[in-house]
């Protein structure tokens, strides 16, 4: 099954190019130029990873990250940034970002992080399923 990723960046040219290149590598890509639109897409679809620009109009990446994690704690967020200060990086990690990549980034690096994000998400979902089964077993006393 191909990886399913949402890329959020206010640079339209960047979005168009990276989506086409990822699609050629069998990655299913959705895009948004605004964080608000990304949040709406996340309501409708489940993604293996969200690649999020740190600086965007109206709602910046950190605020968007916070809201994404509130809505869906399992979703793996990779931050993409033009200039990452140590403080921002630390803040992003505290808010639950999986990784932070600096622009311009190599496509291989981005794909590698998307694959890692997918694997991480599978582990989280499996853990949750296990917990759910354990809860049922405890409740039913089997």
Interface residues with another protein (CB under 8 A) are 11, 13-14, 17-18, 20-21, 24, 55-58, 60, 82-83, 102-105, 107
Shortest Cβ 27–another protein spacing (Å): 13
Q: Cβ neighbours of residue 8 under 8 Å, at least 6 residues apart?
A: 31, 32, 33, 34, 35, 37, 38, 50, 51, 52, 53, 56, 61, 64
Shortest Cβ distance from residue 61 to another protein (Å)? 11
CA-to-CA separations, 40 to 6, 15, 24, 67, 94, in angstroms, rounded: 12, 18, 26, 11, 24
For another protein, which is the closer residue by CB, 84 or 124? 84
**Among residues 85 and 129, whose Cβ is nearest to another protein?**
85
Q: Which is nearer to another protein, 16 or 70 (CB)?
A: 16
Least CB distance to another protein at residue 138 (A): 50
Separation of alpha carbons 65 and 91, rounded Å: 11
Q: How far is the CB of 7 from another protein (least distance, A)?
A: 11
Asked if 52 and 77 touch (Cβ cutoff 8 Å), the reply is: yes
- Kindly state the smallest distance separating residue 6's Cβ from another protein, in Å: 17
Nearer to another protein, 54 or 98 (CB): 54
Nearer to another protein (CB atom), residue 17 or residue 125: 17
């Amino acid at each position: 099954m191909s990886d399913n990723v949402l890329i959020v960046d206010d640079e339209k040219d960047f979005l168009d190019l990276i989506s086409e290149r990822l699609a050629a590598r069998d990655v299913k890509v959705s895009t948004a130029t605004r964080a608000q639109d990304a949040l709406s897409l996340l309501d409708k679809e489940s993604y293996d990873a969200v690649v999020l620009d740190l600086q965007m109009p109206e709602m910046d990446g950190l605020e968007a990250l916070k809201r994404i994690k509130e809505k869906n704690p399992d979703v793996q967020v990779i931050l993409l940034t033009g200039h990452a200060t140590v403080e921002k990086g630390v803040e992003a990690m505290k808010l639950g970002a999986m990784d932070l990549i600096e622009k311009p980034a190599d496509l291989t690096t981005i794909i590698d992080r998307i694959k890692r994000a997918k694997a991480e998400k599978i582990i989280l979902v499996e853990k949750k399923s296990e917990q759910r089964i354990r809860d049922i077993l405890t409740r039913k006393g089997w």
